[in-house]
Amino acid sequence: MKLGGPDKTIFVQGPYLAYRLLLAVVLSISLIVIDIKFSQLDHVRNVISTGLTPIHWLSEFPRNIKSVATNLVTSRETLEQELGLLQDRLLVLERKSQKLASVTAELNRLRELLNASRILDEGVVVAEMIGISPDTGYQYIVINKGAQDGVYHGQAVLDSKGLMGQVIEINELTSKVLLISDIRHAVPVQINHNGVRAIAYGLGSLSYLELANVPDTSEISEGDLLVSSGLGGRFPQGYPVARVSSIEHDAGRSFARVKVKPEAQLDRSRLLLLVFNKDHNKSDEGKL
């Protein structure tokens, strides 16, 4: 029987095979053109992505097992130790936040004096990462919050340390977040202590970004913290983005080469925060 099967298939190839390939080539080229020119196919993509959700969940399984296993075998002693540490930390943070409240109030008063817009307290929702991009040329992560949770296009995503990226695709239960390190991503920033503005471009590497068009004479030094400037209206103001790691002055160029290291742990963080900006509804449904 085994021999019978394959022999018939000689004729499957025939001249038809080339026609089929031709058809597939025509189909895919027209799909590429349609996808570049129009946005109708986004809906198809969302439907298929939603269908792939179980696969995303499943592919996270090995990692979940690992964390469950560690949870099961952790001793009481370690847990108590950890609890103590966390309580200490909580105290410290509470003290800090008391101070912060008064400082924020004062800042708002001062801003009112200056007739500037107030810093709004943004709402946040915790999301969990459930998948990462398999493609090194396109850096995104998948999170477990989608249209049902009110996620919107261009929404800022943070981890505990700083800005991670922005939402670029929303499905029913999940959404895709483009990381700030992606080669197509840029974020407007300013230096925290003196307000010098710049734009941080992703380079496709998780470990550093680059600042574009920083004049040689600019007041910037290694170790400076960059926070989101809020210009462009996409990211909320004042979240840490990166820290300057190296500055290269080249006499042959008009701009300095500034490399910065993202504050967020782009390759490690699992729990993320989605920032809900109160007045995003007024702005257009921004698309990338």
Q: Structure tokens of 74?
A: 């952790």
Nearest CA to 165 among 147, 146, 192, 183? 183
Interaction residues for another protein, span 226-255 (CB under 8 A) = none
| 280 binds another protein per the rule CB under 8 A | no
Residue of 76, 94, 113, 137 that binds another protein (CB under 8 A): 137
Stretch that binds another protein, among 43-51, 90-98, 190-198, 222-230 (CB under 8 A): 43-51
Nearest to another protein of 26, 105 (CB atom): 26
Strand partners, 198: 189
Q: Provide the 8-state DSSP code for 210.
A: E
Q: CB 32 → another protein: shortest distance, Å?
A: 4
Q: Which residues, 144 to 173, sit near another protein by CB under 8 A?
A: 169
**Residue with smaller CB distance to another protein, 60 or 224:** 60
Q: Which of 115, 136, 221, 281 binds another protein (CB under 8 A)?
A: 136
Q: Which two tokens stand for residue 121?
A: 């307290």
Strand segments, DSSP code E, in the chain are 123-132, 140-143, 156-158, 163-170, 175-179, 186-191, 197-202, 209-215, 225-228, 240-248, 255-262, 271-276
Cβ contacts of residue 34 below 8 Å, gap of 6+?
A: 40, 41
Decide: 199 and 192 in contact? Cβ < 8 Å.
Answer: no
Q: CB atoms < 10 A from the CB of 14, how many?
A: 9
Instruction: Name the one range near another protein by CB under 8 A: 69-77, 137-145, 186-194, 248-256.
Output: 137-145
Query: What b-and-e string marks burial along 121-137, b requiring 16 or more CB atoms within 10 Å of the CB?
Result: ebeeeebebbbeeeeee
Site for another protein in 13-42 (CB under 8 A): 13, 17-18, 20-21, 23-25, 27-32, 34-36, 41
* Contact pattern from residue 184 through residue 223 relative to another protein, giving x for each residue in contact according to CB under 8 A and a dash for the rest: x-------------------x-------------------
| 185 three-state secondary structure | coil
β partners of residue 130: none
Say how many Å lie between the first and final Cα of the chain, rounded: 56
Binding map of another protein across residues 250-269, x = CB under 8 A, - = no contact? -----------------x--
Q: How far is the CB of 176 from another protein (least distance, A)?
A: 7
| Nearer CB in complex with another protein: 50/237 | 50
Q: Which two tokens stand for residue 211?
A: 């600042």
Nearer to another protein, 30 or 246 (CB): 30
Site residues for another protein, 107-126, by CB under 8 A, read none
**Contact positions toward another protein, by CB under 8 A?**
1, 5-6, 8-10, 12-13, 17-18, 20-21, 23-25, 27-32, 34-36, 41, 44-45, 48-49, 52, 55-56, 58-60, 62-63, 131-138, 140, 169, 176, 183-184, 204, 267
